[in-house]
Amino acid sequence: MKFQPLGERVLLERIEEPTTTASGIIIPDNAKEKPLNGKVISISKEIEEEGVISVGDKVIFAKYAGTELNLDGKEYLVMGQDEILGILK
Q: Is the Cβ–Cβ distance between 76 and 11 less than 8 Å?
A: yes
Position 76 scores a pLDDT of 94
Which DSSP string corresponds to 41-67? Answer: EEE-HHHHHHTSS-TT-EEEE-TT-SE
pLDDT score of 15? 86
Q: What is the pLDDT of residues 4-44, one digit of tens each?
A: 999 999 999 998 766 666 676 666 655 556 668 999 999 99
Q: What is the gyration radius of the CA atoms in the chain, in angstroms?
A: 14
Q: Could you tell me which CATH class the domain 9-88 is placed in?
A: mainly beta
Q: What integer pLDDT is reported at residue 2 of this predicted model?
A: 83
- Residue 14 CA to residue 1 CA, distance in Å, equals 18
State pTM to two decimals. Answer: 0.79
pLDDT digits (tens, 9 = 90+) for 56-85: 999 999 888 899 999 988 999 999 999 999
